[in-house]
A and B are shown apart, each in its own frame.
Chain A
């Protein structure tokens, strides 16, 4: 709404100052609109970041400040007590390692398997190609909830509950990755691959030595998406682990947060825990944010 009222002011402003030269007119006309846009965006950003700031600040508050009413905004004496208490109760390094191992295995297998099928769909003429692509598109649309119950039974039968394999296998090759890699690989000129074939190169060689190095940006995008997807995944790890030693970070945090015996009066610990779970993700995202927008735009522009 406010975005629409601003341009009205813009169009009337220059007409009242006929003496100005064209360039300065434009500049003056744009300024009020720009200021308004910046103000609106800044307010929005403040609202967006408020929960994070509250979390980060609360993680360093003393018990008195945490429960003070009215609440204290900024801790007067910063303390690491919450982190120490949390680490006493929860083996966070273990859960951290579980999350890292699962996310790395999921990412590695997605990079290889999704690229392989992406290459076949983009660059190989074979019978059944369109049917397989149809499967991939269909798989994109199926909600994960539909598979949980039999997947749990299957994993119990295979004795893979509480194992890394049980956590990794259902996510080892995602349809999104195939779609993304196919989109990127289609832009590689056919002549290049034909030339390699003329020189006697096999398909595996072409895929591994020619195509994969050319799609490094896409591989980067896919790794970040897959890694974060796995890191943030909750429902399946919740179902596929009973042994606390195999919990991933989100499962450990949720179990701690929803357990009435531990959660009482421990908001500081929960904020410290949330900070430790969220911080690596946020740092990774900010460092690599270029690849994110690229990936979303590619996937969105079917």
Chain B
């Protein structure tokens, strides 16, 4: 406690330094005022933090640790009312997971969703952002709002709409097929087409987020840099490759990481559109976890799933941060 306050007082002194150095007369007074307000600020700081910290501890920190604890137990329906009755079973849940074909399939499906969906979302988001940033000044807001609207819509409602859009007999896409004299495939009823359809919907819904990030990134590039390149005779493509892309790296990194995290957690789309079918071809890890936990009440097992997913997410995030940071050097 003592060392902590001493450290804080030091940093306060350092902060007060430049202001107090003006004249020696204000020195002592400033320091005294500083140390007095220091005590007040210490108390105030903690009081202002308390509501958040209480909510954080009860509804976030505790559940995160509890999930970990539960994943080593046979926590089930009966133990919901008597949590302490759960039996410790070591790594059994984790071991079982990796011989559980359903889980492995859900892991594969989630990977499929991420590996195809993330690059598509980033690429299309970047294309739209570059188009909006080049040669468009009228109607810019109009287009930006149009491309961003799917992001804010309720995903359940949108998934319901897409289910109907893709309906092979009377949907929008079926209509397009019949215009050119073809019959529409049953997108969501086919094991091979269900996941690509879901990816299409995810890209449609999320490219607006990426677009807005890229627009902010593009506008942060100083115009002098562009003008200098142009004076040196750089064409638009050279300018894009040599200036825009390198300077957009931090945005690209951020957009890739948040899109990947979002896609690894994909839940609502399969829940509403396919319920994981046909024959588990769209069963994602999150949907699998929800079912094991809340339909079958295998909560210990589902907790282990949640932690495997969490470790995967952390691993991929760290990997992406490394890879993209190395590239900038």
Contacts and interface: CB of A to CB of B under 8 A. Distances in A.
A7 B135 CA distance: 11
B172 A45 contact: no
Contact of B161 (A33, A157, A254, A271): A271
Contacts of A148: 63, 290, 293, 306
Contact of A274 (B15, B67, B157): B157
Contact of A127 (B4, B53, B132, B306): B4
A11 B230 CA distance: 12
Contacts of B227: none
B119 interface: no
A114 interface: yes
B97 to A, nearest CB: 15
A270 B160 contact: yes
B64 interface: yes
A258 B63 CA distance: 29
A71 interface: yes
Main secondary structure on chain B at its contact with chain A? helix
Contacts of B147: 44-45, 48
Interface in B140-166: 141, 143-150, 152-158, 160-165
B38 interface: yes
Given A169-B59, A232-B154, A257-B272, A126 B8 contact: yes
Interface string A130-150: 001001000101111111111
Main secondary structure on chain A at its contact with chain B? helix
A34 B140 CA distance: 12
Given A51-B204, A267-B170, A126 B299 contact: no
Interface size of B as a range: 35 or more
Interface stretch (B87-95, B99-107, B123-131, B186-194): B123-131
Nearest to A34: B135
Interface residues of A, number: 106
A48 B206 CA distance: 11
A277 B45 contact: no
A66 interface: yes
Contacts of A66: 170
Given A120-B45, A126-B45, 4 more contacts: A30-B135, A169-B55, A253-B154, A292-B152
14 contacts: A4-B240, A33-B135, A38-B136, A41-B132, A44-B147, A68-B170, A117-B52, A149-B66, A149-B302, A152-B293, A234-B154, A285-B149, A286-B145, A297-B213
Interface of A: 3-4, 6-8, 10-11, 30, 33-34, 37-38, 40-41, 44-45, 47-52, 54-55, 58, 66-71, 73, 112-114, 116-117, 119-120, 124-129, 132, 135, 139, 141-154, 156-157, 169-170, 172-173, 178, 197-198, 203-204, 207, 228, 231-232, 234-235, 239, 249-251, 253-254, 257-258, 267, 270-271, 273-274, 277-278, 281-282, 285-286, 289, 292-293, 296-297, 300-302
